[in-house]
Amino acid sequence: MNVGIDSISFDIPKIHLPISTLALKRNIEPDKLIKGLGLHKMSFPDKHQDVVTFAANAGLKLIKQENINPAEIARIYIGSESGVDSSKPIASYVLSLLESKLGESSLRNCDVVDLTFACIGGVDALQNCLDYIRLNPTKKAIVIASDNAKYDLESGGEYTQGAGAIAMLITSNPRILRFSSEVGVSTEGVFDFFKPRRTFSKSDITNSSENKEWFGVLENEISVYKEQPVFDGHYSNQCYINRITEAYNHFKKESQQTGKVYENWTSILMHLPYCFQGRRTFIEIFADENPELLANQIGESEKDKLKALTKSGEYVELINQKIYPSEIASGQIGNIYTGSIFLGLLSSLCYHAQQNTALENKKVGFIAYGSGSKSKVFEATVCENWKTVINQINLFDDLAHNHPIDFETYEKLHKKELQHSVLEPKNEFVLASIEKENPVLVGARYYEFVE
C-alpha cells in the first residue's frame, strides 16, 4: 500500500531582519554569513504571532486548499520544541481554532497530540501518522511542524533564528510522496542543546531570607523558563555528524541496500539549523562512501583531505544537484527547528516545479536530526501527480514579498517590548490576549481570527 504526503502548506512570519543588517550591528563581515553560511533573511514573529498561530494558519490553509471534510481528519499530530504550556499541547489549541472556522465540534473525534524531541519531533509525528494510515487507509491525518527558533541577543546562534510552520496531509495513495517503511535510527542521550527549567533562590529575587509568597509561588525556589536554549555549537555539530552517519549506515542495513545509497536519491533533504549545514556535514557520509576519493585528496592529515574533498568536483556537483534546491527557502527564512527538513522538501519541490524537472518515480532521501540527540534516515518516492499540488503553492513569491524590519524593531520584538504589531494581521489567526487575573485561568492564551 502506498502511504505518504498528499498535500502540503506553510505559514511563516511576514517580517524579517536582513542578515546584512544583523551582521553590521554585530561587527560581523556580512559575507561571512551570506556566502559562508548561506543566510540572507531571518524571519521573526510579529507581536501577534506564536507557534500556535503558525500551526493553525498552516493547518487551515491546507484544509481549505484541498477542500477537506473535517470529519475525514482522524489525527492532527504536531511536532514542536516551542510549546506554550507544559501540559496543554499546541495541538489542542490548534483543534479549537480550526473548529472556529470549520464548525463547532467538527473535529470532536480527531486525535491530537504534540511530539517533542528537539528538531526531529516533526519527523516523529510524520512517522506515527504514516503507520496509522497504513493500518487505516481510508482515514486522513495532518502533521504540522511549528516552531520559533529564538536565541539570545549577541549569542552564537542569533543569526540562525527563524520561525514558521509546515503542514502536511497524510493519506493512502498520495500525490506528492510515498514512503518506504524502512528507517535508520541513531540515538544518544547528550546535552548538546536543551531548554532547561532554570532555578533561582527566592531570596536572590526578593532580597529576603523569609520564604514569603511571591506572585503565587510558595516554594523557596523560583523556576524560570526561557525560549532560548542552552547549547554548545561545536559539540552539537559533532553530535549531528555522529548521529546522521550512524543512522545512514543503519538505514542501509535495514533496507538491505549495498553501495552508495545517496546515489539513488535525486534530492538529499536534511535538517538545516542554518542554510549550509547540510552541505557542510554530508561530506562525512560522502567521504565514508568514497574512501578512494578521500585518499586521493592533497593534505597531510585526514582533516586536511576531508576539507579538500569538500571542494572536489564530485562533491560540488552533488551539492548543486541534490542539496542546493532544499537550501533556497532556508536562506530566506532561517531555522524553524522541526519544520526545517520539511521546508527543505517544499523548497526542493517548488524549485524543481519551476525548472519543470521530471521527478516522477525518483527517490528522495531524508536525513533528520534532533538535539539530545537522535537522527532518522529514510526515503520516499515522488508520485506522478506531485506537480498538480506544488504548482498551487507560491512559496518563493511569498518570500520575495516578505517585509524587512530595522534593527531597533527587531530588538524590541526580541525583548517583547513592542506594544503593537509591525504589520496589521489580515486573514489569519492571532494571539489576542493572555489571562492574568482569573485564578483558575491564569496563563490561558486566547486566540482569534482576524478577517
Q: What is the pLDDT of residues 170-200, one digit of tens each?
A: 999 999 999 999 999 999 999 999 999 999 9
* Ramachandran area for residue 352 (φ above 0: left; ψ -120 to 50: alpha; else beta): alpha
* pLDDT bracket for residue 209 (50, 70, 90): confident
pLDDT of residue 129: 98
Q: What is the pLDDT of residues 83-92, one digit of tens each?
A: 999 999 999 9
Average pLDDT, the chain: 97
Mean pLDDT along residues 135-161: 98
* pLDDT bracket for residue 216 (50, 70, 90): confident
pLDDT of residue 56: 98
Q: What percent of the chain has pLDDT over 90?
A: 95
pLDDT of residue 146: 98
CATH top class, domain 3-192+232-450? alpha beta
Mean pLDDT along residues 326-342: 98
Mean pLDDT along residues 313-335: 98
Lowest mean pLDDT among 184-188, 208-212, 258-262, 273-277: 208-212
* pLDDT bracket for residue 405 (50, 70, 90): very high
* pLDDT bracket for residue 1 (50, 70, 90): confident
For the chain, the domains span 3-192+232-450, 195-230
Cell of 393: 503553492
